Amino acid sequence: MKKALIFVLAIAIVFIFASCSKGSSSAPAASAPATTISTAAAAPAATTTTPSTGTVDTEYDPNKTVDFQQQTSEEVRVVTIGTVNKSLYSQPVFVTSFGQSTDAAMLDTVMKRIGVDYVYNATATADALKNYKTVVIAVGASTKGLGAAGISEAEETARAKAIMQAINESGAEVICCHIGGSARRGTLSDEYADMVMAKASYIVLKEDANFDYKFTKYAEEHNLPISLIYATKDALTVFTDVFGK
Amino acid sequence: MSYIKNIIVIAVALLFAVFASVDFLAMRKAEPIADNPNVTEIRMLSEYCSGLKGTNLDTEVYVLDSGVPGGAMLILGGTHPNETASPVAAIAMAENFKCTKGRLFIIPWTNKSGFTHTSPLDGMQDFFDITLDDGSVRTFRVGNRLTNPVDQWPDYTYYMGSSGRQLVGTEIAEIRNVDRLYYGNENGVLTEMVCAGVFNLINREGINLTMDMHEGSPEFLYLDCTMVNMKADNQTAMSIAQSMALDMQFDDLDMRAEYSGVKSYGLSHRSLGDNTASMMTLMETYNPSMGPLHGKMDDDLIVNGNEPNYYQAHLDGYIYFDVPENGYPLVQRVARHVVCVTYLARAYSETYPDKAIAFEGLGGYSDMINAGLGKILKPVE
């Protein structure tokens, strides 16, 4: 009887201690020495990795590094290569998205703040662009964005192709806008970028997306002006210059 | 003789257990919130879901009514209590804000039961202190992201939430996670009643805009990011969020907006967004104490947010988030939440002037950083 009582009390104490587990300030739990993660993928200075942030098709490889010299910086926020012929871009402007990333909504905000006469429709069909002489297209694919819009990748690609066909027929000026950075690189995002750059007369690019020089190389080969921006907010500077009164 | 020895051992053990229990039970006492003359009413969430009345999950709703017609905003703090900046930001707002247009509802401890326990074997501590400018000390609980099993037990082996989210296997503990059970069920488990209370509050009060404040471990991909539910016919929600993000960027604060995941069933931004008229948002800040790489767990880690392991992991290319070398202090994370809420309300009001919401009291980001938590938080009895 006494042994049973002792056994029950002992079990009760075990449960009490378990439920009262309090971390103390000296608890070393979960500590992991930095040495365990230190040098395996160390990137040398002046190189960068290509991080994944959950876009459609970016494959994150922490060991993949490329030589990349960025031209923009905290101090030099915008670098324009070539001459932008602002007279090409008459208003009203149509703003849409290829890939349904959030970048088109950012352009909506930018245009609103500058006071541009514009219409924004991220899922516009080709017909909607008929009367516009300037079209700004935010390129960049987002699984979440496509899901939110209820559009499949195939449908979005078909819509993009139809819009480019309509632009070919109308002769509208196109500004290719890639302001989502390296997170908006990948097979589908690049497909949209290629589609739009083929007709664009100006490219606006958040420079970290240029880690493989894809955009500057294209602009150079096709004699297109390109504005490299350091951060998304710098799109406001670029578009103020283009559309500002 | 051996029997007496056993009794002595047990008596000593019980003595330790008593002290530990006193410490453990102290977590059931909510930290006081300083009086704010601009708070027009403090309600209980049970007013919106009667099943919560008398339970440890019933929680305070601070109401700041400007008396000026406009919209209504709901701010959820402490959905996950261990995401420290969230409840502290909510408390800071409840103590300092004055609503000048429309109405503001603030819930500092959305999962109040979650504040009453820690994560066993997870190296967590139960309290942390902040010294105020007048020398007094305010103590806050760290808590756990889930409801205390003392309040809701057992976890079922299978559960289908109102959103359609199924909980099975290792995910079943999420049946005690407020942010998996929206839009709730008045007749469900207690945690689900909290969700139902929030859902009913949004509907009954005509809440136009909701922010659910969170933090994430450094490994999480959506830090300094606001999730937005874009209803199928309303692309404006994302534009409002991007306007907020742009404003924050001009304050030199990284911020981006992302669409709510299509299958994020049960999460506030997804399931409240889908099932109410409110524009739903959720913001995350970096919290190194939540990640598995954290070292010594103490006030310094929680309040100063300095974890060299994560800085090294970032340098080595393992952590996408730009981990600051000298840490990411709680005051910065709190200020970021306050600024995000403020700019979001401003962008919403510019888009919908007839439903404008405006408040003041904590200034801008740099004002808060300069003031520090010692000044932002008010002395209490």
Q: Average pLDDT per run of 10 along chain B, which is 381 residues long?
A: 87 92 91 98 98 98 98 98 97 98 98 93 87 97 96 94 93 96 96 98 98 96 90 83 95 92 92 95 95 90 94 94 94 98 97 97 97 98 77
CA distance B125 to B79: 18
CA distance A209 to B321: 17
Instruction: Kindly tell me if the per-residue pLDDT of A33 is higher than 60.
Output: no
Confirm or reject contact between B25 and chain A (CB < 8 A): no
Q: What is the interface size between A and B, counted as CB pairs within 8 Å?
A: 170
CATH for A86-243 is 3.40.50
Task: Look at strands B127-131 and B137-141 and give their pairing.
Answer: antiparallel
CA distance B268 to B144: 18
The arithmetic mean of pLDDT across residues A148-168, rounded, is: 95
Contact criterion met (CB < 8 Å) for A6 and B10: yes
DSSP letters spanning B48-84: T-GGGTTSTT--EEEEEE-SS---EEEEE--SSTTST
Q: Which helix (H) or strand (E) segment is B103 a member of?
A: strand B103-107
CA atoms within 13 A on the CB side of B90: 29
Contact criterion met (CB < 8 Å) for A20 and B293: no
Residues A173 and A134: beta-carbon distance below 8 Å: yes
Packing angle, helices B2-25 and A2-19, rounded to 10 = 30
Percent with pLDDT over 90 in chain A: 67
Range with lowest mean pLDDT among A19-28, A198-207, A208-217, B294-303? A19-28
Helices (H), chain A: 2-19, 103-114, 143-149, 153-170, 187-197, 214-221, 235-243
- Least Cα separation, residue A92 to chain B (angstroms): 19
Confirm or reject contact between B298 and chain A (CB < 8 A): yes
Over the stretch A39-76, which tens digit does the pLDDT of each residue have? 233 333 333 333 333 344 445 455 555 678 999 999 99
Nearest to B10 among A9, A25, A110 (CB): A9
* pTM for this model (two decimals): 0.86
Could you tell me the residue ranges of all domains in chain B? 31-376
Give the per-residue pLDDT at B327. 93
Confirm or reject contact between B3 and chain A (CB < 8 A): yes
Residues B146 and B131: beta-carbon distance below 8 Å: no
Give the per-residue pLDDT at B79. 98
Q: What's chain A's average pLDDT?
A: 82
Residues B203 and B276: beta-carbon distance below 8 Å: yes
pLDDT classification of A6: cutoffs 50, 70, 90: confident
Comparing B159 with A36, which gets the higher pLDDT? Answer: B159
Cβ neighbourhood burial of A214 (10 Å; 0-12, 13-18, 19+) = middle
CA distance A143 to A155: 13
Packing angle, helices A235-243 and A103-114, rounded to 10 = 50
CA atoms within 13 A on the CB side of B16: 13
Instruction: Kindly tell me if the per-residue pLDDT of A190 is higher than 90.
Output: yes
Residues B122 and A29: beta-carbon distance below 8 Å: yes
Q: Which residues of B touch A102 (CB under 8 A)?
A: 238, 241-242, 256-259
- Least Cα separation, residue A149 to chain B (angstroms): 6
Angstrom CA distances, B369 to A84, B25, B254, B306, B372, stand at 41, 34, 16, 16, 5
Contact criterion met (CB < 8 Å) for B246 and A109: yes
Give the per-residue pLDDT at B234. 76
Residues B232 and B201: beta-carbon distance below 8 Å: no
Give the per-residue pLDDT at A64. 57
CATH for B31-376 is 3.40.630
Which of B259, B269, B319 to probe the A interface (max A CBs under 10 A)?
A: B259
Nearest to A53 among B16, B250, B320 (CB): B320
- Whether ipTM > 0.90 holds is no
Contact criterion met (CB < 8 Å) for B235 and A121: yes
Q: Which of A133, A148, A122, A139 is nearest to A204 (CA)?
A: A139
The C-alpha angle A113, A114, A120, rounded to 5 degrees, equals: 75
Contact criterion met (CB < 8 Å) for A6 and B308: no
